[in-house]
Structure 1
Amino acid sequence: MKKKAQIRKKMKLALKTFDFSDRQRQTQAIIDQFLISDIYQQAQTIAIFMPMSFEFDVTRLLNDTSKRIVIPKTLPQRKMIFTDYDEDALFLTPFGVRESKSDFAVIPDLIIVPGLAWTEDGYRVGYGGGYYDRYLADFTGQTASFVYDFQILPTIERNKFDIPVRHIFKV
């Protein structure tokens, strides 16, 4: 099994050099697949991460007026909450991620979980902060990830804190 640090480095490079037209094709196909899924149809409040330039582009979902959209906000001690998405109430964190100025926590019923690599059974390599795994430890709703074809790996090193996502959307 590859160590997570090696996977992070390899996947960040692969994402940053991913062919633009292939990225667009896969992104559209995956989001189209998600929008017709039962978990999307049944969700009322969807948590969506704010993507960095090289991450999966979920911005199409941020404008979904049929659902309540919430975004992550990091707190001290590597904790995280979700707050209502309001384009006019965002600030840029020192990590280069846009977050809400609000501290009003909202519990979603579906979380789109970011990451860098996944196994077919939903285990993932994230960015190493553990924010999502900590949140997901007590979360009872649905979870999903959007995964480009090269991000699926046969195995990933796991620890007792790793929480798999329940649904993988891929091409």
Structure 2
Amino acid sequence: MYIKNIKELKKNLRARYRRYREKMNAEQKIRLDASIQCRLLTLEEYLHAETLFIYVSKPIEVDTLAVINAALANHKRVAVPRCVPDTFEMEFYYITSLSDLEKGTFGVLEPIVDKCERVGDSYGRALCVVPGLSFDAQGYRLGYGKGYYDRYLAQFRGITVGICYLGCIQWNLPHGYYDRPVDILITEKYVRRIARQEDTP
């Protein structure tokens, strides 16, 4: 389907799902977050992962701090992103506790470079938790429009999982040829594994 102004459509969708999240009351958010966290932490792919790549959540996102603490307690290597200044690139660094974080780009907590080891090319079995304002049934995501994760995931070799509220899921999102869908989508109601195109007959 041809969409005349995809940028305008994405802008409107971002505003819609941001409003949805901002209107959520604290008690409801805690309940939904706990359900999503439980589904993620009992996921077979999480249990087998050696390294967890995970963003540090902002107030309108599914809380990831509990997941980070759980992964550290599970003796997994936990890698958190840092935006590279003056670029649209990001790097991941291993952290050993939340005290390894400081406020960085866009006011988001990022790893303190002097305290943390940068992730290299070898990170074993890895699971990457990907942020998104919305996801669709095919695993495509609507991000914040800067393209940080799109660039990073182009060379990521592990399994990707999107976590999102059911109210922010829609059947089809506009996406480009090079956009990569997540492998697994988790909401408070279900876990959906997405068939990769090369796996389908």
Query: TM-score when scaled to structure 1?
Result: 0.92
81, 87, 92: which one pairs with 2:98?
Answer: 87
Hey, what does 1:121 align to over in structure 2? 138
Matched, 1:68 2:60: no
Q: Give structure 2 stretches of 5+ with no counterpart.
A: 190-201
Q: Give structure 1 stretches of 5+ with no counterpart.
A: none
| Separation in 1, partners of 2:163, 2:149 | 15
89, 94, 97: which one pairs with 2:108?
Answer: 97
| Separation in 2, partners of 1:19, 1:45 | 33
Secondary structure of residue in 1 paired with 2:146: coil
Q: Which has the higher contact order (CA 8 A, sep 6+)?
A: 1
Pairs within 5 Å for 1:107-118? 109-118=126-135
| Separation in 2, partners of 1:4, 1:58 | 25
| Separation in 1, partners of 2:50, 2:103 | 27
Secondary structure of residue in 2 paired with 1:47: strand
Matched, 1:18 2:24: yes
Q: How far is the alpha carbon of 1:4 from its aligned partner?
A: 0.9
CA RMSD of superposed structures (Å): 1.7
| Separation in 2, partners of 1:24, 1:12 | 17
Matched, 1:44 2:84: no
Q: Percent identity?
A: 29
Secondary structure of residue in 1 paired with 2:106: coil
Hey, what does 1:163 align to over in structure 2? 180
Q: How far is the alpha carbon of 1:30 from its aligned partner?
A: 1.5
Hey, what does 1:141 align to over in structure 2? 158
For the 8 Å contact 2:138–2:172, the answer to whether it is kept is no
Question: How many residues were matched structurally?
Answer: 171
Structure number with greater Rg is 2
Secondary structure of residue in 2 paired with 1:5: helix
